[in-house]
């Protein structure tokens, strides 16, 4: 059996942090249930291992050196990460509480995500939900959002963390009454002669995504009707106002019962990624980590397809 001779990099860290936060080694020893001599020897071994002096010592007080201040910052961040990891690992075995603020697209949030969130939070009555249904893209940090659900490509940002939940196919569709009146489009060029329902600059997309001869393209259909609410867009399509494009989950029910009919299907092979996104923090609270993990688990079961 091989025994490593490398020193434990975590040895003495908790004693150092306690000593740094106390006025002197005696106070740190009392807080940790150790002797002053033990604290002093631990700090001395740590300084020897690091090759730097961590404290200025007097008979009554201890003060951190510049190297000690820098080391305390690093050690505190590391201990916070360890604490967060331990809390997350144990969260499945304890009752969670607190409020979670989630931001999600209107139609997907109401029709697909809300039923899942009700199931996810039911085992933890102490959890409270603040749900914002909006098709506008909010600033998570400014609006104090814990988790957001985002469709499509994500901006390249260093302050967010993302987990892909699923990829949904997009479908172009219209009501049977509309297609009887206007004729069914056969090619992408035919779209220019159609009446179309699109989103708005701060809401659902103004463009459609299609696949033409294995190449994914963005096209701009006629903006006959511009709506900022995805649910209203679905209702407008069902009422015969025009063609629209949506992720399949938002129109599956209407397609199945005949209120909408898919068209241009050979051009509709493009998928849209759906992500759970949250601000990057040193510590992710157990309740937020629990909800994220459950969303990923539900997605793996096909609940968000």
pLDDT, position 67: 92
**Is residue 72 a part of any domain in this protein?**
yes
Cα gap 226→231, rounded to integer Å: 13
Overall average pLDDT of the 206-219 stretch: 87
Pull the structure tokens for residue 267: 């051009």
Predicted TM-score (pTM) of the model is: 0.64
Within 107-189, strands assigned E span 126-133, 147-151, 160-174
Encoding tokens for residue 226? Answer: 């511009």
Does residue 125 belong to any structural domain of this protein?
A: no
**Residue at a domain's end among 47, 75, 91:** 91
Per the CB < 8 A criterion, the answer to whether 198 and 223 are in contact is yes
Give pLDDT tens digits for 215-239: 888 899 999 999 988 889 999 999 9
Residue 111 belongs to a domain: no
Of the two residues 201 and 181, the one the predictor is more confident about is 181
Per-residue DSSP letter, 110: I
> Domain containing 175 — which CATH number?
3.40.190.290
For the chain, what is the mean pLDDT? 85
- Is 172 among the domain residues? yes
- 242: pLDDT strictly greater than 90: yes
The distance in angstroms from the start CA to the end CA of the chain is 50
The predicted-structure confidence for 250-259, as pLDDT tens digits, reads as follows: 899 999 999 9
Q: Decide if 184 is inside a domain.
A: yes
Name the residue range of residue 72's domain: 13-91
Residue 240 lies in a domain: yes
pLDDT per residue as tens digits for the range 19-47 = 888 878 888 888 888 898 998 899 999 99
Counted domains in the chain? 2
SS (H, E, C) 67-99: HHHHHHHHHHHHHHHHHHHHHHHHHHHCCCEEE
pLDDT band at 2 (very low <50, low <70, confident <90, very high): very low
CATH number, residue 62: 1.10.10.10
In a domain, 57, yes or no: yes
Q: What is the pLDDT of residue 94?
A: 63
């Amino acid at each position: 059996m091989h025994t490593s001779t490398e020193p434990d990099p975590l040895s003495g860290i908790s004693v150092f942090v306690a000593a740094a936060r106390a006025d002197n080694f005696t106070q740190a020893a009392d807080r940790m249930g150790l002797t002053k001599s033990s604290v002093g020897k631990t700090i001395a071994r740590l300084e020897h291992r690091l090759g730097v002096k961590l404290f200025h010592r007097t008979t009554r007080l201890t003060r951190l050196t510049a190297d000690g201040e820098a080391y305390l910052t690093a050690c505190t961040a590391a201990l916070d990460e360890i604490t967060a990891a331990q809390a997350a690992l144990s969260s499945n075995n304890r009752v969670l509480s607190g409020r979670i603020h989630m931001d999600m697209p209107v139609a997907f949030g109401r029709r697909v995500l809300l039923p899942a969130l009700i199931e996810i939070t039911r085992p933890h009555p102490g959890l409270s939900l603040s749900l914002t249904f909006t098709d506008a893209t909010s600033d998570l940090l400014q609006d104090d959002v814990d988790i957001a659900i985002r469709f499509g490509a994500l901006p390249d940002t260093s302050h967010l963390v993302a987990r892909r939940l699923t990829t949904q196919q997009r479908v172009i569709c219209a009501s049977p009454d509309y297609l009887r009146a206007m004729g069914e489009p056969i090619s992408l060029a035919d779209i220019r002669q159609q009446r179309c329902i699109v989103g708005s600059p701060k809401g659902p997309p103004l463009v459609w995504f299609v696949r033409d001869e294995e190449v994914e393209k963005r096209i701009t259909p006629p903006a006959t009707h511009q709506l900022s609410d995805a649910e209203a867009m679905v209702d407008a399509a069902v009422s015969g106002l025009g063609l629209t494009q949506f992720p399949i989950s938002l129109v599956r029910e209407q397609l199945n019962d005949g209120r909408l009919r898919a068209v241009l299907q050979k051009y509709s092979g493009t998928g849209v990624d759906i992500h759970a996104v949250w601000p990057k923090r040193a510590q992710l609270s157990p309740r937020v980590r629990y909800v994220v993990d459950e969303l990923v688990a539900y997605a793996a079961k096909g609940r968000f397809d």
